[in-house]
Chains A and B, each alone.
Chain A
Amino acid sequence: AQSVTQLDSQVPVFEEAPVELRCNYSSSVSVYLFWYVQYPNQGLQLLLKYLSGSTLVESINGFEAEFNKSQTSFHLRKPSVHISDTAEYFCAVSAPHQAGTALIFGKGTTLSVSS
């Protein structure tokens, strides 16, 4: 079984500051890792994912995350945030190649960007 821990429930930052949202996972098998973003009254949008290959993955809007197998982490970073990045962010894990595998989500981190 897999589990995900998002270490911060709320992260307040000022515009143009760097940010890191922390995510640790637990699994007895290899995993796929995901970051999703959710804006108010909307569904989940995929931000980025790690399936295999390079441990550093990037999104089109400046976010990046690094898969660290030894530390079982997949922290999300952005060097300079914008007001529009204010949202809730979810880290998730799934077990690859298992039929019907489910996404297991963390509790979420609310990122609040102020000017």
Chain B
Amino acid sequence: KAGVTQTPRYLIKTRGQQVTLSCSPISGHRSVSWYQQTPGQGLQFLFEYFSETQRNKGNFPGRFSGRQFSNSRSEMNVSTLELGDSALYLCASSLAAEDGGYTFGSGTRLTVV
């Protein structure tokens, strides 16, 4: 079966712009989680969605937001980009986050200049 698909793979944006990243989970998976990976902070949890509802949120500013559609596809949006938002953004899908069965996508590499 197809894995977790993240688009685009690479993005270059300018400070102050906004960006939208997309994640298509494995068919049948209803939970989508987002993580930010940077060399300094490592892997940090952004938020988790299940059946279009945000159930959990990490410690990130309100500039980071997300949503999930009825087909379980998810998007995350970052507004007013800062240089420090440059990172690899990873999406993980599972049947339900609490069942321990996470599958990660290849990520979107965002560079803010």
Docked-complex contact A108 and B42, CB < 8 angstroms: yes
Q: Tally A-B pairs: CB < 8 A.
A: 73
Chain A residues with Cβ under 8 A from B31's Cβ?
100
Interface residues of chain A: helix, strand, loop or mixed (majority): loop
B87 vs chain A, min Cβ distance (A)? 13
Instruction: Count residues of B near A (Cβ-Cβ below 8 Å).
Output: 29
Docked-complex contact B100 and A51, CB < 8 angstroms: yes
Most-contacted residue by chain B among A41, A94, A101, A105 (CB, 10 A): A101
For the A-B complex with A32-B100, A103-B33, A107-B42 known, give 17 more contacts whose Cβ atoms are closer than 8 Å. A34-B100, A43-B4, A43-B104, A43-B105, A45-B104, A90-B43, A95-B98, A96-B98, A96-B99, A96-B100, A100-B98, A101-B48, A103-B92, A104-B45, A105-B42, A105-B43, A108-B42
**Footprint of B on A, CB under 8 Å?**
32, 34, 36, 41-46, 49, 51, 90, 92, 94-108
